[in-house]
Every structure is written in C-alpha cells, then in structure tokens.
Amino acid sequence: MIGDFRNCITLINFLYGKSLYFPCIFCPQTQQPPLTCIIMSKGTVVLAYSGGLDTSCILVWLKEEGYDVITYLANIGQVEDFDAAKKKAESLGAKKVFIEDLRAEFVEEFIWPSVQASAIYEDRYLLGTSVARPCIARRQIQIARQEGAQYVSHGATGKGNDQIRFELTCYALYPEIIAPWRIPEFYNRFVGRKDLMEYAEKNGIPVPVTPKAPWSMDANLMHISYESGILENPKSHAPAGLYLMTKSPEDAPNSPDVLEIEFKKGVPIKVTHVKEGKSKDTPLDIFSYLNEMGGRHGVGRIDIVENRFIGMKSRGIYETPGGTILYHAHLDIETFTMDREVRRIKQGLGVKFAEMLYNGFWYSPECEFVRHCIDKSQERVEGKVQLSVFKGQVYILGRESPKSLYNEDLVSMDVQGDYDPCDASGFIKINAVRFVSFISYFWYVTARLE
C-alpha cells in the first residue's frame, strides 16, 4: 500500500533539465485524484522567428526544453506571408505571436544614418543585412520587457555575422540570450538540414513541399543578399535566375529615368521623376520608389568576397538598388556643400562607422559617438541632385544648393574675380620645396643602402 504523502512535494530533475513536480502520492483508499505531474517552465523566451525550417524547429525545441515561447516576426520590407507565419507559430505552440511593421522606423532611424555616413564596408558592401539587425533586435528587446520574458533567442548560425549582431544588441539592452546554434545539445543533435527535416517530420512541423533555392537569402527594404550553397565556390558565376530585386541590365529599358533627389542635413526629403513629375516625400515612400527605379534598371548588383567579423572570408552576392542611388547622390551633394577638411575627417568616421555596423556595434558607446559626429557634419549638406539611372549605372547630371561652397566666378577660366594668381604661386612654391626635400632624402637613403 502506498502511504499518504499529501504534505510532500518531490522535485525530480528530468531529461534536458525539465523540472517535474509531484504534489502528492495518494493512498488508493482515500479516493483522491490520481498521480499528476506538472512540468514547470524554465521561463519565457522571445524568439526572433521567420517561419522557416530553422526557427520553426527551434521553437519546438525550446518548448521541449521547458520554455514558454513567444515568437516575434519583424516586417522590414521582405516578401512574406505574415498570416501564414502567424498560424504556423500558433500551431507549433507559441504562447503569443507578435508581427511588427518596422518599415518606417527602419528607413528613418537606421537607413538614413547609414546614408549620411556614406557607410560602405570594404569599399563595396552597402550593409543591407547589417543595418537591419539592430532595428529587429531593438523591438525584440522591447517585447521581452513588455511581456516579462527572461530570455531572448535567435536562429542565427554559429558561422555567420548575424549571431554577433543580434547578441551584441541583446547584451547592450537585455543580456539573457539563448543561442541554440552554439549550445552543444542543439548543434550536436542537428548537424545539418537533414537532421532538422527529420525533427520537423517527427514533430509535425510543416516544411515547404518544394525544394528551397540552393543558397541562403536575406531580404529587406535595403537589399537582398545571397550566400552559401552553390555560391560557396567563389569561382562559380551567379545563376541567371538568382536576382529578385533588380532586372538584368541587359533587359533594362533602353532609355534612362532622370530623378531629382532633394537633401536636407544629409537626408533625402523628396524624390521627383523629372519627366513624369511624380514625387515622393515621406521616408518610406522615397526609399521604396528609389528601389523601384533602381530595380527597373538593374542598379546595385555586386558579387564580392568579404571578411566576416568572426574570422573567415565569405562570398556574398547583393542587390541594393535604392541604397546605391542614394550613395552616389549623397556623395555628390556632400562634396558640393562640405568644407574640405571637415569632409576628410568625416570620411574616416564613415569607414569606422561601417566597420562597427558590420560587426554589430550599433548600440556601443563608440558607435553612438561616431553617429553623433557624422550627424553634426551633415548640417550644411543640403540641396538637389539630378541623376539618371540606366543599364545598371547611376550617372550624376547636376546639382544645386543654397549652402554650396562652389564659387563659379572664382573657378571660372574666363573671369578673374577675387582670385590672386600669386596665391597659387605661393602654394606651388611651398609644395615644390616639400617635393625637392623628399627627393633629396630619398636619394640620401638610397646611397646609404648601397
């Protein structure tokens, strides 16, 4: 006979650290309810969720590990069936599902500072994925605080940059993180996609019935990136059907579209199609329209090998139509309106900002300081730039500004103006002396070496 242990609570540590509580063990003669067990939650975690294979499996795995899971999906301009993603998360046991439209704040608070900085990583990459991560992660943290969650989690792999970007944001704002792809129990169990597919089938997780493209993609308003899979061989050419955001320049229209972009404090405030007279004047509309125009003409395609923060080189293919147009237009109006020495300093800050953004340091004190300095440098960057987009290229046509530092009379070859040729003579003499001194030193060192 089993004794009456009504006042006893036994804690049993179960597999994977689950806690099973047996409130009591009843004597059959007492006619008490049968033995029950309650799995106590380890806490609540907000999972950055896409609805794809990885994060769907992670959702179920986290529940299996004893967590209550809230899923969070950010709309930052990607093509997505958000209703289907929500239903799938609910069917897999998500406690709550948040789908947040972040497009406007993504443009105003993250893309615009990158435009002001002329941020470009390793001379070519316009940082479309990098700039999206602090925007996504910030809202994830806000939801975690709002819901009283103890943890946040993501599905970024252990070989990529995104794990760094998500986690540095989390450490800055909300330090409790679960990174499954760096937990031995997870990555030893799921060595590859085959293991994930088997787990999905076993746990009733819906997966696409059609084969996925043999590469990895990340899409948002700023760009689409393509990497991994068949692209891992850097010698292989990009397949013809890879690009989704831009037409091939060969198939682009045979006449250019001429646009006028107006800037104030280094930020675009209006874009006008010169021939059609069509204008856009809100941040989201401006950027979306530039994406449309750039995509129509095949602007913004690059194929590069870059240096990841974690210490390896990777091959990436990117298409950034609107961002490429703005990069060229901003560069032009900035040069037109900014003091030479200020711009020289600002250029260095832009390189530093691009590195910090790529490496996930958006919320670091040094990045905040650099952004503040860049913003200060943009006070006079105001005016209009006319350009054409045509067959994959951006061509600057002209510019005007009330803050221009360009003096037409001073630079004219036909008008003397206030210019004193002796000024140039003095400049030439000073630099000639420096040049001769350098040559003399060079020959002295050469002779000593001989």
Which residues participate in catalysis according to the annotation? 54, 133, 162, 216
- Residue 197 CA to residue 354 CA, distance in Å, equals 37
First to last CA, the chain: 104
> Pick from 218, 216, 194, 188: which is nearest to 207 by CA?
194
- Phi and psi at 210, nearest 5°, equal -100, 150
d(CA 391, CA 252): 6
What is the maximum alpha-carbon separation in the chain? 115
Helices of type H across 203-246: none
Report the alpha-carbon distance of residue 15 to residue 59 in Å, rounded: 18
What phi and psi values does residue 43 have, to the nearest 5 degrees? Answer: 135, 180
Output the CA torsion sign for 240, 317, 245, 116: negative
Residue type, 111: I
